[in-house]
Amino acid sequence: MSANNYILINQDNLEVSVNDAGTGNSFGKPQKARNLENAIEIAQKIQNENIIEYGITFTKNKTSKKRVKNKIYLYIDGTNLLAGLVEMFGFGKVPSFASILKIIKKYYKYNQIYFYASYTSLKGITKLPKEKQEKVKKQIGLEIKYFKKVRNIKNLVFYQGYRSPTSKKEKGVDVHLAVDMVKDAFLKNCNQAIIFSGDADFEYPVEILKELSIPVYAIFIPNRFSLAIAYKCIIPTVLNYNNLFINKRKINKLRIIKIAQKRPRSKRAR
């Protein structure tokens, strides 16, 4: 079997086949599934046992053997991601966004990235204790530097939310991400979606996409994991930096990718 291939799930006749990406022809006889969920299980088993270069594709055309063009959107909760990275590595050793994408590209194909984040404000910082002021300044400095590099990524749309002047809480970001996911599904802008967030609030938009027969994948970091999202997505994946993630519920379909990353050294007492 050629490595230049993809798995095709026909949603009309529930046949699962491995097809040549160049010709569209299938390798061997397609497998018949009981329902769409069973078809996805069969496809995942094939993917785990073989080298599949272009992942899983869905079609509703019974007769065409041509390869279906995937439109896969990657939605990233940027504020959630950066906060989790800071918790694990501190302000000085946060893994670059480019290095994270490099890992993701080994397991997922995508056409477009939508990144949602907001910037911490300096307003009212003088009223905080000195120690807190220094922390906020470091946070602001990191956000400016980190998000500037994010904005330079090809095929990436950066949505900037805002922080409440009174509560300092982020506003508009989560809602915008959720609405974009559902809107893109309804308008058929994409036929597959990847959500990168540990915020359980995104469980509902994921559920809506599933009802619209849009396959949804999920990516997490160890300290930003949502069990609710993981159960609803196809092959949820954890970027397991320094083995910090513990799979307490023993989710069978969970993919855990081990990543070694240097953490900041703790200051020794003299």
pLDDT tens, position by position, 173-225 = 889 999 999 999 999 999 999 999 999 999 999 999 988 889 999 999 999 99
Q: 149 and 34 in one domain?
A: no
**Both structure tokens of 39:** 């078809």
Alpha carbons 89 and 104: distance in angstroms, whole number: 20
Q: What pLDDT was estimated at residue 170?
A: 67
Domain count, the chain: 2
Residue 18, pLDDT above cutoff 60: yes
Q: 87 and 188 in one domain?
A: yes
Closest by CA position to 55, among listed 92, 13, 9 = 9
Lowest model confidence (mean pLDDT) among 6-10, 97-101, 199-203: 6-10
Q: What pLDDT was estimated at residue 163?
A: 72
Assess contact for 95 and 241: CB atoms under 8 A: yes
Q: 79 and 10 in one domain?
A: no
In the chain, the amino acid numbered 242 is N
Q: 237 and 184 in one domain?
A: yes
In the chain, the amino acid numbered 17 is S
Q: 45 and 159 in one domain?
A: no
First-to-last alpha carbon distance for the chain, in angstroms, is: 62
69-85 per-position pLDDT tens digit: 789 999 999 999 999 99
Asked whether residue 265 is domain-assigned, the answer is no
What is the share, in percent, of the chain residues with pLDDT greater than 90? 48
Alpha carbons 34 and 13: distance in angstroms, whole number: 10
Domain limits at 37?
5-59
Average pLDDT on 144-166 reads 88
Q: 89 and 28 in one domain?
A: no
Averaged pLDDT of the chain: 85
Q: 98 and 52 in one domain?
A: no
Against a cut of 0.85, is the pTM above it? no
Q: What pLDDT was estimated at residue 52?
A: 75
More confident residue, 260 or 142: 142
Q: 18 and 107 in one domain?
A: no
Q: 76 and 54 in one domain?
A: no
141-153 per-position pLDDT tens digit: 999 999 999 999 9
Asked whether residue 117 is domain-assigned, the answer is yes
CA distances from 89 to 11, 44, 137, 221 (A): 44, 33, 17, 12
